[in-house]
Amino acid sequence: MAKDGGGPDWNGLLKWSLAHGDGTAKPRALSEEDKKWFMEAMQANTMDVVKRMKEITQVMKTPDDVLQSQGVTPENIEDMLDELQEHVESIDMANDLHSIGGLDPLLGYLKNSHAGIRAKAAEVVSTIVQNNPKSQQLVMESNGLEPLLTNFSSDASTNSRTKALGAISSLIRHNQPGVAAFRLGNGYAALRDALGSDDARLQRKALHLLQYLLHDNKADRSVATELGLPKLMMHLASSDDSGVREAALGGLLELARDNTSGAGNALPDQDKLKDVLKSRIEGISTMDADDLSAHREERQLVDSLWKECYNEPSSLRDKGLVVLPGEDAPQRPPPDVVGSMFEPPLRAWAASRPPPKEDSESESAKKDPPLLLGPGPSS
């Protein structure tokens, strides 16, 4: 039920939810009046979201000079894109963005002169296409990969490069046409450049995508080797950043398990690799209990990589440092009995719906929508 001001009565909806279930009692049949009130509340919110997305689309289609003449700043646009990202977290709304004409102007923001807008637009694209084959196809058909690759490979802003890489990763996962286009667009060379940067966050994202590609596209392992990616990963396996080390070790393990050539694994310079692993074993052996617990994945990756390359367990196993006492039987977290009560009602409703027939990274603080061009087109 909508409030007098026209918006959904969220407080009333929350009170209704709490009054009709505490997470322990069996569900009871709802009266027709309750059902009607609930559906009106949900439909009012859906209509509000679609209307607001149309207003945002109108702004995105408006030339920059017109927006500037009305006092709209780049920060206003970033705030607006923050709001849009919140809306398209629903897969239905993500797919509707194209229907209302908002996808192409959003992709146009990837070429904006302001780095913050380019970065924020890439974040929205990432949310739209993540685990969403329909929107992945729509973005590919709109040539959305091209500006993302351009920003990833050559943007002057490291943040914009990182956000573009995140969007590329979401766009091409489980999307073979996307992987093929990434390969043809010199995506592997851009990954090499990212691994050679001095930004740990960019390195981590590049390593995670590379590991995925090496796992799912075995034919590309020779491309990675020719570009010198294994040597870069060996170097990064000694990084001061634990996340970079773990991601590099994971990529090396994927290559070490590649026996398709019939001549052993795909890793060059085995002597250098052994030195790197020995150094990590030494570092792990001197860790205290808290650090050992925090670096569980690294311990296991080092041992697995050593065994894969040299056909014997690493000395970490002899020292009892691969699996610590209690790690083989992790405690299960307590059941979540209140989380659903505090979910935004639209998301909770969407989560309870049956999954669609097709298969379906970044947190932004929710801000009040900026008042830009006034009322949007009527829905």
Residue 55: pLDDT band with limits 50, 70, 90: very high
CA distances from 11 to 8, 16, 30, 367, 369 (A): 9, 9, 19, 19, 20
Half-sphere exposure of 363 (CA within 13 A, CB side): 1
Residue 372 within a domain = no
Phi and psi at 8, nearest 5°, equal -65, 145
pLDDT number for residue 46: 53
**Three-state DSSP state, 27:** coil
Residue 10 within a domain = no
Contacts of 22 (CB under 8 A, 6+ apart): none
Same-domain pairing of 202 and 158:
no
Residue where one domain finishes, among candidates 141, 157, 185: 185
Residue where one domain finishes, among candidates 160, 185, 210: 185
Residue 366 within a domain = no
Kindly report, residue by residue over 31-50, the tens digit of the pLDDT.
777 666 666 665 555 558 88
pLDDT number for residue 329: 47
pLDDT number for residue 266: 65
Residue 305 within a domain = yes
CA distances from 72 to 111, 142, 251, 262, 288 (A): 18, 27, 45, 61, 54
Q: How far is it, in rounded angstroms, from Cα 286 to Cα 132?
A: 45
Listed residue (86, 2, 75) closest to 38, CA to CA: 2
Q: How far is it, in rounded angstroms, from Cα 9 to Cα 27?
A: 23
Contacts of 356 (CB under 8 A, 6+ apart): 91
Is residue 336 classed exposed, middle or buried when 0-12, 13-18 and 19+ CB atoms within 10 A define those classes? Answer: exposed
Residue 364 within a domain = no
Same-domain pairing of 60 and 143:
yes
pLDDT number for residue 363: 46
The two structure tokens encoding residue 42:
């949900």
pLDDT number for residue 213: 96
Rounded mean pLDDT, 172-201: 97
Same-domain pairing of 131 and 215:
no
327: which DSSP letter?
T
Same-domain pairing of 165 and 259:
no
pLDDT number for residue 9: 53
10-14, 60-64, 117-121, 318-322: least confidently modelled range: 10-14
Q: For residue 374, count other CB atoms closer than 10 A to its CB.
A: 8
pLDDT number for residue 219: 87
- Looking up residue 108, the CATH number of its domain turns out to be 1.25.10.10
Better pLDDT: 343 or 280? 280
Element (H, E) at 296: helix 296-310
Residue 254 within a domain = yes
How much of the chain exceeds pLDDT 70, in percent? 73
Kindly report, residue by residue over 286-337, the tens digit of the pLDDT.
999 999 999 999 999 999 999 999 999 999 999 999 988 878 744 455 565 5
The two structure tokens encoding residue 16:
């209704």
Q: How far is it, in rounded angstroms, from Cα 233 to Cα 200?
A: 13
Structural domain including 266 reads 196-322
Q: How far is it, in rounded angstroms, from Cα 83 to Cα 106?
A: 13
**The residue to which tokens 């990590």 are assigned:** 280
pLDDT number for residue 358: 47
Same-domain pairing of 156 and 200:
no
Residue 240 within a domain = yes
**Three-state DSSP state, 2:** strand
CA dihedral in degrees (335, 337, 341, 347; nearest 10)? 30
Q: Please, what is the angle between helix 200-216 and helix 229-236, to 10°?
A: 130
Same-domain pairing of 58 and 160:
yes
Same-domain pairing of 171 and 285:
no
Residue where one domain finishes, among candidates 161, 185, 209: 185
The two structure tokens encoding residue 25:
């009692």
Distance from the Cα of residue 238 to its chain's centroid: 26
**Three-state DSSP state, 8:** strand
Kindly report, residue by residue over 115-127, the tens digit of the pLDDT.
999 999 999 999 9
Q: Please, what is the angle between helix 32-61 and helix 91-99, to 10°?
A: 50
CA distances from 24 to 21, 338, 341 (A): 7, 11, 13
109: which DSSP letter?
G
Contacts of 335 (CB under 8 A, 6+ apart): none
Residue 90 within a domain = no
Same-domain pairing of 280 and 212:
yes
> Considering the chain, what is the average pLDDT of its residues?
83
Residue 185 has pLDDT above 60, yes or no: yes
Same-domain pairing of 175 and 127:
yes
Same-domain pairing of 168 and 202:
no
Q: Beta partners for 173?
A: none
Contact 76, 88 (CB under 8 A): no
Q: How far is it, in rounded angstroms, from Cα 291 to Cα 298?
A: 11
Same-domain pairing of 173 and 205:
no
Same-domain pairing of 161 and 224:
no
Q: How many domains does the chain have?
A: 2
Kindly report, residue by residue over 187-246, the tens digit of the pLDDT.
999 999 999 999 999 999 999 999 999 999 888 888 999 999 999 999 999 999 999 999
